[in-house]
Amino acid sequence: MTVYRALKEDNLELARERVSRIVGRDTRDLDEEEIVRATIETISESTVDGIISPLFYAVLGGAPLAMAYKAVNTLDSMVGYKSEKYLQFGWFSAKLDDMVNYIPARISIVLIPIASLIVRQRGLMALKIIFRDGKKSPSPNAGIPEAGFAGALGIQLGGINFYQGVKEYRPILGEKLKKKSPKDILKAIWLSCTVSMLMFLSGLAILNYYW
């Protein structure tokens, strides 16, 4: 929301500074569309590793397992980079993070299209783009929610990113039905909240059934 507010005020410098707090890429030269893209990509990925996954492990093993998952996820965020500095040190945490997010990411295949329909976005398109583009990402998990959000919003995600000055290409996900705008950030947040509520209610239903 802080990124969205900065964009609504036409303050690109402030928006770049704020988006730099939630993404790993270089943000100094991003234009409005790229700021929107970066924000939506992190919202979609965080919907899995920040919400679905902790709830999934909380259902399986309560708070201890959910906290153990977050420890793995945080370690990956700290050192799980394919850089010269961290390649040998962080590979294990990166691979472990891929493993623990594998099932939750696949759960999102169901939740994102349903949530899209609930909030009157493109549910069928979300499902289509997940199956068409979800495996394009170098990450075995991140591409699934990103593709789902791209389909639901009718936009394209992916493209060229810079990390510490090094250019990297991410596969294009989705179809460009319209130009990305700051309002898409709000739509992505609302979609993420709806996915979160669906996961929460599903977890409660499962616990109630087995208890």
pLDDT digits (tens, 9 = 90+) for 104-148: 999 999 999 999 999 999 999 999 999 999 999 888 999 999 999
The low-confidence residues of the chain, meaning pLDDT below 70, are: 76, 78-91
Q: What is the pLDDT of residue 162?
A: 92
Q: What is the pLDDT of residue 79?
A: 57
**Residue 170, φ and ψ in degrees, nearest 5:** -110, 135
Q: What is the pLDDT of residue 166?
A: 87
**Please, what sign has the CA dihedral across residues 79, 81, 85, 91?**
positive
Q: What is the pLDDT of residue 169?
A: 93
Which ranges constitute the DSSP H helices of the chain?
2-8, 12-19, 32-46, 53-79, 87-100, 102-118, 123-133, 143-153, 183-210
Contact 107, 199 (CB under 8 A): yes
97-103, long-range: CB within 8 Å, 24+ apart, which pairs? 97/49, 97/72, 97/73, 98/139, 98/140, 98/141, 100/53, 100/57, 100/69, 100/72, 100/73, 101/48, 101/49, 101/53, 101/73, 101/141, 102/140, 102/141, 103/56
Residue 129 burial (CB count, 10 A)? 26
Helix (H, G, I), strand (E, B) or coil at 10: coil
Q: What is the pLDDT of residue 74?
A: 84
User: What is the secondary structure of 93-134 as a DSSP string?
Assistant: HHHHHHHHTHHHHHHHHHHHHHHHHHTTS-HHHHHHHHHHHT
Q: Which residue has the tokens 């990450």?
A: 139
Beta-carbon contacts of residue 163 (< 8 Å; ≥ 6 apart): 24, 25, 26, 83
Residue 91 is given by DSSP the state H
Q: What is the pLDDT of residue 88?
A: 61
Q: What is the pLDDT of residue 51?
A: 95
Contact 106, 66 (CB under 8 A): no
Residue 80 is given by DSSP the state -
Residue 183 burial (CB count, 10 A)? 13
The residue type found at 187 is K
Residue 55 burial (CB count, 10 A)? 19
